[in-house]
Amino acid sequence: MTERSGSESGPAHKTMEIGMALLIGAFGLVVIFGSLKAGINWGAEGPRAGFFPFYVGAAIVGASAINLWHARRDDDGRLFAEWGQLRQVMSVVVPTAIYVGSMPFIGLYIASMVFIAWFMRWLGGYRWLTVIAVAVGMPVVTYLVFERWFLVPLPKGPFEEWLGL
């Protein structure tokens, strides 16, 4: 990355392209493997369950091979993203993963409150008053709109049970 003028560095676009082509190719192999298990030949009922996915998997592997070849050949020295940018992205992905992962245990409402508050306080840098207003307000509005008005149940945890909702 010597030709870049900026001081920031990051993973090369080429590396990510190659990684992506390999990842998709590997997915294609999994599909082929799964299709072989389901049977790709003709049975009494006509083409068996793996018949169509087998060719789909083969097409994925083929297209990925060509994409891989292209990715290795062209190198424009571009960055995929700067490390700082990736850190920004990860600062959303990781808490969202925790948020999503905790939902089965503590329910959607409490998880959402914590998640919104965390996001606004640490990434947005808002005053606690604003943070609490939005973090509590949004789940309450959600409850009214979804559960009361449209009768769509959302996951609840021990706290909601204790409240008797």
Q: φ, ψ for residue 47 (rounded to 5)?
A: -60, 135
> Among residues 2, 3, 46, 73, which is the contact residue for other proteins, using CB under 8 A?
46
Subset of 5-44 contacting other proteins (CB under 8 A): 16-17, 20-21, 24, 27-28, 31, 34-35, 37-39, 42-43
Q: Which of residues 68-107 bind other proteins (CB under 8 A)?
A: 70, 80-81, 85-86, 88-89, 91-93, 96-97, 99-101, 103-104
**Helix ranges, the chain (H):** 13-38, 51-73, 83-118, 128-142, 158-163
108 counts as binding other proteins under rule CB under 8 A = yes
**Least Cβ distance, residue 125 to other proteins (angstroms):** 7
Tokens standing for 103? 């939902």
As a dihedral over the C-alpha atoms of residue 141, residue 146, residue 147, residue 148, rounded to 10 degrees, the angle is: 70
Minimum Å gap between C-beta 15 and other proteins is: 11
Which residues on neighbouring strands pair with residue 43, listed in sequence order?
46
Does the protein bind other proteins through residue 110 (CB under 8 A)?
no
Is residue 47 part of the contact set for other proteins (CB under 8 A)? yes
CB 140 within 8 A of CB 133: no
